[in-house]
Chain A
Amino acid sequence: MTLKSSPLSFTVNGKPVGPIDVPDDMMLLDVLHEYLGLTGSRMACGQGICHACAVILDGPGGPREIRSCITGAHFFANKSIRTVEGHAERDAQGNVVRLSPVQQAFIEHFSFQCGYCTPGFVTAATVLVERLKTAPVARRDLEAAIDKAMGQHICRCTGYVRYFEAVRDLVLATPGLVKG
C-alpha cells in the first residue's frame, strides 16, 4: 500500500459514519461514492465548477454549500454533512415517505430533465431556504438572492428557469422567508 491513509469519522445525513480508513488525499465525493455507496452527489467536472457534487455542511454558522469534488474528505472529520439522499423523510426500509419542500417544488415545476445536476440544486436551494428562515430577504431582493445561491450551478438540460422559478415560488409560499 503506497497511499497514506487515516481514520475518518463524521456524520452523514444524521448518522455517524466511521471510523473508516480513507486516503489522506481523497476528496469527499469519492468517499461518498466508493466507500459509502451514496452516489446521489454527482461527479461532473471534478474541478469545483459545476456544483453537481455540492453537499450541505452543517456547522455553527448555519448550513452552507460545499463542493465535495474539491474538498478533502478529512476536512469533514467530526463534522456533519447532508447529501441529497438525506433530505426526504424515509421509512424504516428507506422508502421515501415525504419529500423536502425544495424537492417537492422541483418535481412540481418539472425543474429537471436528466436530473444529473439536481442534487446540487437541491443542496443550494435548501441552504438558501434555511438561511432565509433566520435572515429573511426583502421581496425585491429575492431573485438576486436566488441568483447568488444557484447562479454558479450548471444545468445543461432545462436552462435553469424551472429551478429558479420553483425556488422563488417556494420562498414566496413559505411564511417568514421574505420581508415587505
Chain B
Amino acid sequence: MNKALSRRGFVRAGVASGVAYKIGFIGSGAEAAIVDDPRAQLASWIAPDGKARFRTDAVAKVTGAKTFARDYRARDMPGWPAGQSHAFLIHATRADAVFTGIDLSLLGELKPDRLVLGDELLRDGLRPPTGGVVGAPGFYGEVFLVPPGETPRLLGQPLALLVYRDFARCDAARRRLRFAPEAVRWGAASGYNTPANYGAARFVRIAGPTPQAPDIYAPLSGTTIYADFKGDTVAWPSADQAGDASQRGMWAAGEIDRMIASAGSDSLVVKRSYFSQSADASAMEADNGNAWLDPASGALRMMMATQSPYEIAVAAASMIAASGPAVKSAVKSIDLSIGYTVGYGTKDHSIFPYLAIVAALYGEGRPVRLANDRYGQFQMALKRHSCATDVTLVVDRATQRFRLMKGTYRMDGGGRRNLSPEVSMVGASAAQGIYYLPNSDFTAEARASRAVDAGSTRGYGTLQTMAPTEMLVDEVAELLSVDPIELRRRNLMLTGMRNSQGAVPAGAIRTDELLQRAGAHPLWRERASRKRAYETAYPGRRYGVGFAIVQKDYGSGGEASTATLELLASGGLALRQGGSEIGTGLTTSHAVMVRDILGRAPDRMSFGVTEWPEMPLTSTEEPFTASQEQEDTWARDPRWTPMRQTAMSASNSVYFVGHATRTAARTLLSLSLWPAALSIWSAGPDGGSLRSLSVDIGEARFTTDGKLSAGGLEPLSLERLAAAARARGLVTAVSVHAFNRWEWAVAEFDVPGAGRLSLPADALSVRYGDGGYTFIERQKVVYPPLARLNAAVTYYSGKAALAEIAVDTATGKVEVLSHHSILECGHQVVPQLVSGQIQGGVAMGIGHALLESLPLYEGGPGDGTWNWNRYRLPHAADVAVWKQSAEVLPPLSDSDAPKGMAEVVMIPIVPAIANAIAHAIGKRFYATPITAEQILEALG
C-alpha cells in the first residue's frame, strides 16, 4: 500500500476543498430523522429471562417495511425532491479489442436523457478513489468507465452510464439493450489489457525441537515475505541465512524444499493439485445506490448499500477533492445514509457506490438511482477468487505425524486489485487447518486477469485453501490405512502450540472435542454398515459418508469500534454503536450482550453511528501500513487511534465490534451502577445495610427482574440507581473505543471520582450526572506492535462436518441425504442466530461443492447473460432441509467470550462432501464443483 496517500492526506485534501462528510444509519433511533424506527414496534422481542424471542429487526423485515438501501427512493428521503432519475450501465463483453463507442440506435426514441462516457469523466477529473481507507493505489482500477479508444481491463467493466429522468423509459431501455452486444462498437483487436499481477506473500516456519521451543524461523519472529511479480513469475528475495528477515525466510523455504527432496522411505510424500472455482456470492439484494447532488446547498446526499460506510464517506470526499474544478466547486458536503444490506463480504470495498455517486454528479440536479439488475450484478459484483493449489504433505509413516506441508495458492483476482493480495494471504495463512506443522511453507499469489474482479467474500480465501487440506488429509488416511479422524487427532494443533505464522492462538483449542464427537456420531461409526444397507436397498446408487474439520480465523488484525452506553433518568439504557447490520443479527446480539452484563437490554439503540461528539478521536487509518516509529509518535496524542471503525466483515461483529459494547457495559457497571448502589446500601443510620457485609463488584448480580444485588444486599432497580447517580453527580454514561491487532490495545485512565482504571480500550469518555461528556485522556496506552500483524491470525473458531450422500451411477448426480455439524464458538449470545448461520453456511457450502461455478473469462459472468437460471443456487431440496442436525460445544465456563463463526460454518461441508463422494465411489476429485459429468466420467 502506498503510505504517501494516507488518510491524513485525505483529510487535508477534504478540508482544502471544503468537502465534509457525515454518515447516518437509516431508521436507527437517535439518528432516525429519515424514517420511524420500525424495530421499536414490538418491545417484546426479549423475554424477561433475557433470551431473545425474535430479532430486533424481525417485525420490520417480515412485514416488508423499508429496511434495505434498495427500498428507498428519493420520495422516501426527507429533504429530497419527490421525483428522481434512474440510470444503468453498459458493460464490456470483450476485453481483447479497443472500445470505440456506443451505438444506441437500438433504443429508437428511448435514448437516455444523459449519456456519460469515460472520456467525459476523465475530463472532469473523476477517477476511482485510491489509497488511505480504500487501500493500495489502483485498488479500484484507474477509471470508472473505459474511455473510447482504450481496451477494457476486465470483462464486465462499465463503458457507459445512461441516465433517464423517468423510470419507465429507463426500464424499457435497459431491457432493450439486454443481450445486445451490437450496442457497443469495437475497433481493432488489441490483445488483452490485463494489469500487472497484484503481489505475492509467503509464510515460512521451521519449528524448534519441540512445539514449545523457539522457532528456528517463523513470520512472527521473522517476517511475512512479500514479493512482486516479474511477468508471471514471483520475484522472491534471495535466500541468505545471515541476511535480513525476508532473506532468512527464503533460506528457511529452501530448507523445507530440501526436506521434501530428501524425504526417505520412512516418509509418505503426497503431492496434489486442486482447483476451487470462481463463484458469485449472490446476495439477494443486488448492489445499488441512490444519490443526489443538491444544487442549492452543494450537499451530495446518498443512500447506499454497503458493508463499509465509513470507507464510502471518507473516500468519496477524497474522490471529490481530487476531481476537476467543476465537480469540486459543486460539492460542498457529503451526507451518507445506509440501510440494512447483505453482501457476504462483497459489499465491503466495492466500486459500485462510487459509480452511484458518479451517476448523481451527472443527474442535472436530480437524484439518480443506480441499481443493478441480476445480469448487471453478475457482470460486476465482486467474486469469490478462483484458486489453483499445489500442495505437498510429508508424513512420518511410523508415527503418522505430519512433518511438513508446503502449499502454493494462486488466486485469480480479475482485472482490479481490490483486496486480492489480502484475501490470498489470509487464505494461505489458514491452509494448515487444525493441524500442527513443525515445518510449513505457504505461498499466496494474487494474480491479475481479465476476469470480473474478486474481493472479500465469506471465508476470505480460506475456503479455497482449507478445503484442499481436508481433502488431502482424507486421502492420506486412505494411503496409510488409518481412520481419517484418528489421523487428524494425531496431528492436532493443541492449546499453546504455534500456528504456521509462529503465533499462539487465543484461548483453548477444542478441535479434539469436535473430532471425538464426530467419531462417536452414528453417521461415522456406522458408515460401513449403512453403506451396505443403502446400496442393497437402492441398486444403482452408491452411498458415502465424508468428514472434514477446519478452524477459521475471525477478525482481520485491524478491528475497531466505538460504543456509548447511557443510563437514562428513567432507568433505561441507550446504546450507540459504530457497527451496522448486515443480516447477521448484530442489533439483536448487542442488545442481548448488554442485557447479560447489566440485567436490562437497551431501550434505545443506534447502529452504524459515525458521528461521535462524545468520543472526539482522530485517526490516521493506517493500522496495517504505518511504521512502528510512526505509530509510537502518533500514540502520544491521547486522541489518536490507529483506526476509527472497522467495516462489517471477517465475522467480526460479535467478538470485536461487540467488545466495545461489552466494555462499555462493564465500565458503566463499575463507574456508575456499582458506586450508585454502594451509596444507597451504605446510606442511612449505622452505615446502612452494607456496614456488616463485605462485598466487591465481582459479586454484583442482576436479579431476574433486572435489579442489582450483591452478597445479599437489597436488589436495586436501575431507576433507583439512575436517580442516585444523578443526585450524587456520579457517572451516568460511558463511551469507549477499542482497537485490536490480534490483541487488544489497553490503556489506563484517571477517572475523576473513580480513580485509576485500566481498560481493554484506547479511549474513554464519561458523563457525570446530566452534564456533558468528559473525554478522559489516557495516561498510558499499549498498542499491539505492528509486527503482531505477522501472526496473521490468533482467533479461531472450529467446525466439523459429516456429510451423508448418495451418488446415482446412472446420472452422476449427488444427493445430500443428511449432514451433521459440530461447532465450537465460545459463548452463544443468541443460539438461534448461531444455528441459522450454521444452516445457511452449510447451504452455501453445498452450493460450492456441487452446484455453483462461473467460467472466468469469455462466456463468464462479464458477458451479461448470467442469472440464477444458469448459476444454480441450492434449493431446500439440495441441502437436506429436513434431515440435518447440528450441535454446539457448551462453553468452557459462563465467561467464555463469543467467537465469530459466520464464515467457518460454510467451509468443512465442502471437503466433507468431496470425501463422501470418495467413500461412495472410490474416486477422488480435485476440483469443485464436483459435477455429475465429472462423476460419470470417473465411473467410466
Which of A's residues lie within 8 Å of B, judged by CB? 2-3, 5, 23, 25-26, 30, 33-34, 37-47, 49-50, 52, 83-85, 87-88, 95-96, 99, 103, 106-110, 112-119, 122, 143, 147, 150-162, 164
Say whether B284 contacts A117, CB under 8 Å: yes
Cα A3 to Cα B918 with chains together (Å): 58
Say whether B836 contacts A160, CB under 8 Å: no
Interface size on B, residues (CB 8 A): 73
Q: Can you list 9 A-B pairs, Cβ within 8 angstroms, ordered by A?
A: A34-B168, A44-B286, A103-B63, A110-B833, A115-B61, A115-B67, A151-B876, A157-B342, A161-B881
Q: Which of B563-605 contact A (CB under 8 A)?
A: 582-585
Interchain nearest-CB distance for A45 vs B (Å): 5
Say whether A115 contacts B57, CB under 8 Å: yes
Give the residue name and chain of the A residue nearest to B839 (CB): A159
Say whether A2 contacts B62, CB under 8 Å: no
Contact partner of A96 (CB less than 8 A), chosen from B54, B63, B375, B584, is B63
User: Is B323's beta carbon under 8 Å from chain A?
Assistant: no
Q: Which of B69-116 contact A (CB under 8 A)?
A: 70-73, 75-76, 108-110
Say whether B62 contacts A103, CB under 8 Å: yes
Beyond A42-B68, A154-B868, A158-B840, 11 additional pairs, beta carbon < 8 A: A2-B108, A50-B868, A84-B63, A85-B65, A158-B839, A158-B843, A159-B840, A159-B844, A160-B875, A160-B881, A162-B839
Say whether A30 contacts B875, CB under 8 Å: no
Interchain nearest-CB distance for B306 vs A (Å): 14
Q: A107 — which chain B residues lie within 8 A by C-beta?
A: 54-55, 58-59, 62
Interchain nearest-CB distance for A38 vs B (Å): 7
Which of B's residues lie within 8 Å of A, judged by CB? 41-42, 53-55, 57-68, 70-73, 75-76, 108-110, 167-169, 171-172, 175, 281-286, 340-342, 344, 373-375, 582-585, 830, 832-833, 835-837, 839-844, 867-869, 873-877, 879, 881-882, 884
Cα A10 to Cα B752 with chains together (Å): 67
Say whether B53 contacts A108, CB under 8 Å: yes
Cα A147 to Cα B55 with chains together (Å): 25
Give the residue name and chain of the B residue nearest to A30 (CB): B171
Say whether A40 contacts B65, CB under 8 Å: yes
Interchain nearest-CB distance for A149 vs B (Å): 10
Contact partner of A49 (CB less than 8 A), chosen from B109, B281, B286, B869, is B869
Cα A161 to Cα B878 with chains together (Å): 12
Say whether B877 contacts A50, CB under 8 Å: no
**Considering residues B54, B110, B169, B830, which has the most beta carbons from chain A within 10 angstroms of its beta carbon?**
B54
Say whether B875 contacts A152, CB under 8 Å: yes
Q: A84 — which chain B residues lie within 8 A by C-beta?
A: 62-64
Say whether B876 contacts A150, CB under 8 Å: yes
**Considering residues B57, B58, B70, B844, which has the most beta carbons from chain A within 10 angstroms of its beta carbon?**
B58
Give the residue name and chain of the A residue nearest to B169 (CB): A3
Give the residue name and chain of the A residue nearest to B830 (CB): A110
Interface residue SS majority, chain A: loop
**Considering residues A42, A115, A150, which has the most beta carbons from chain B within 10 angstroms of its beta carbon?**
A115
Cα A161 to Cα B172 with chains together (Å): 38
Say whether B873 contacts A156, CB under 8 Å: yes
Q: B110 — which chain A residues lie within 8 A by C-beta?
A: 2-3
**Considering residues B76, B167, B585, which has the most beta carbons from chain A within 10 angstroms of its beta carbon?**
B167
Say whether B172 contacts A114, CB under 8 Å: no
Cα A96 to Cα B344 with chains together (Å): 30
Q: A112 — which chain B residues lie within 8 A by C-beta?
A: 58, 61-62
Say whether A161 contacts B59, CB under 8 Å: no
Say whether B284 contacts A110, CB under 8 Å: no
**Considering residues A25, A88, A106, A161, which has the most beta carbons from chain B within 10 angstroms of its beta carbon?**
A161
Say whether B882 contacts A164, CB under 8 Å: yes
Say whether B876 contacts A147, CB under 8 Å: yes
Interchain nearest-CB distance for A142 vs B (Å): 10
The 9 closest A-B pairs by CB, nearest first: A40-B64, A114-B583, A115-B61, A159-B843, A84-B64, A114-B342, A159-B839, A2-B109, A107-B58
Cα A88 to Cα B41 with chains together (Å): 13
Say whether A46 contacts B373, CB under 8 Å: yes
Q: A95 — which chain B residues lie within 8 A by C-beta?
A: 41
Interchain nearest-CB distance for A60 vs B (Å): 26
Cα A151 to Cα B875 with chains together (Å): 6
Cα A122 to Cα B169 with chains together (Å): 32
Cα A43 to Cα B869 with chains together (Å): 15
Q: A157 — which chain B residues lie within 8 A by C-beta?
A: 342, 583, 836, 840
Q: A150 — which chain B residues lie within 8 A by C-beta?
A: 876
Cα A34 to Cα B169 with chains together (Å): 12
Cα A26 to Cα B344 with chains together (Å): 31
Cα A123 to Cα B71 with chains together (Å): 18
Say whether B64 contacts A147, CB under 8 Å: no
Say whether A147 contacts B285, CB under 8 Å: no
Give the residue name and chain of the B residue nearest to A152 (CB): B875
Cα A87 to Cα B867 with chains together (Å): 30
Q: B867 — which chain A residues lie within 8 A by C-beta?
A: 45-47, 49
Cα A150 to Cα B881 with chains together (Å): 12
Say whether A156 contacts B832, CB under 8 Å: no
Q: A88 — which chain B residues lie within 8 A by C-beta?
A: 63
- Given known contacts A87-B63, A159-B841, is B54 in contact with A143 (CB within 8 Å)? no
Say whether B843 contacts A46, CB under 8 Å: no
Cα A108 to Cα B65 with chains together (Å): 18
Say whether A161 contacts B839, CB under 8 Å: yes
Say whether A114 contacts B70, CB under 8 Å: no
Contact partner of B840 (CB less than 8 A), chosen from A34, A109, A156, A164, is A156
Give the residue name and chain of the B residue nearest to A25 (CB): B172
Say whether B583 contacts A115, CB under 8 Å: yes
Say whether B57 contacts A2, CB under 8 Å: no
Say whether B843 contacts A160, CB under 8 Å: yes
Say whether A158 contacts B836, CB under 8 Å: yes
Interchain nearest-CB distance for B242 vs A (Å): 53
Q: B281 — which chain A residues lie within 8 A by C-beta?
A: 156
Cα A38 to Cα B66 with chains together (Å): 9
**Considering residues B59, B285, B873, which has the most beta carbons from chain A within 10 angstroms of its beta carbon?**
B285
Cα A27 to Cα B422 with chains together (Å): 42
- Given known contacts A37-B73, A156-B282, is B168 in contact with A23 (CB within 8 Å)? yes
Interchain nearest-CB distance for A49 vs B (Å): 4
Say whether B875 contacts A118, CB under 8 Å: no
Interchain nearest-CB distance for A138 vs B (Å): 16
Interchain nearest-CB distance for A33 vs B (Å): 8
Say whether B169 contacts A160, CB under 8 Å: no
Q: B876 — which chain A residues lie within 8 A by C-beta?
A: 147, 150-151, 153, 160, 164
Say whether A151 contacts B877, CB under 8 Å: yes
- Given known contacts A2-B169, A96-B59, is B842 in contact with A110 (CB within 8 Å)? no
Cα A154 to Cα B872 with chains together (Å): 10
Cα A30 to Cα B306 with chains together (Å): 23
- Given known contacts A49-B868, A107-B58, A154-B284, is B879 in contact with A116 (CB within 8 Å)? no
Contact partner of A40 (CB less than 8 A), chosen from B63, B171, B843, B873, is B63
- Given known contacts A23-B168, A154-B875, is B62 in contact with A118 (CB within 8 Å)? yes
Q: A44 — which chain B residues lie within 8 A by C-beta?
A: 284-286, 374
Say whether A110 contacts B172, CB under 8 Å: no
Give the residue name and chain of the A residue nearest to B831 (CB): A110
Say whether B840 contacts A3, CB under 8 Å: no
Cα A108 to Cα B51 with chains together (Å): 12
Say whether A161 contacts B884, CB under 8 Å: yes
- Given known contacts A40-B65, A49-B867, A85-B64, is B879 in contact with A159 (CB within 8 Å)? yes
Cα A157 to Cα B584 with chains together (Å): 9
Cα A99 to Cα B60 with chains together (Å): 11
Give the residue name and chain of the B residue nearest to A122 (CB): B62
Q: A96 — which chain B residues lie within 8 A by C-beta?
A: 41-42, 59, 63
Q: B169 — which chain A residues lie within 8 A by C-beta?
A: 2-3
- Given known contacts A96-B59, A160-B839, is B342 in contact with A116 (CB within 8 Å)? yes
Cα A30 to Cα B167 with chains together (Å): 9
Interchain nearest-CB distance for A141 vs B (Å): 13
- Given known contacts A96-B59, A108-B53, is B582 in contact with A114 (CB within 8 Å)? yes
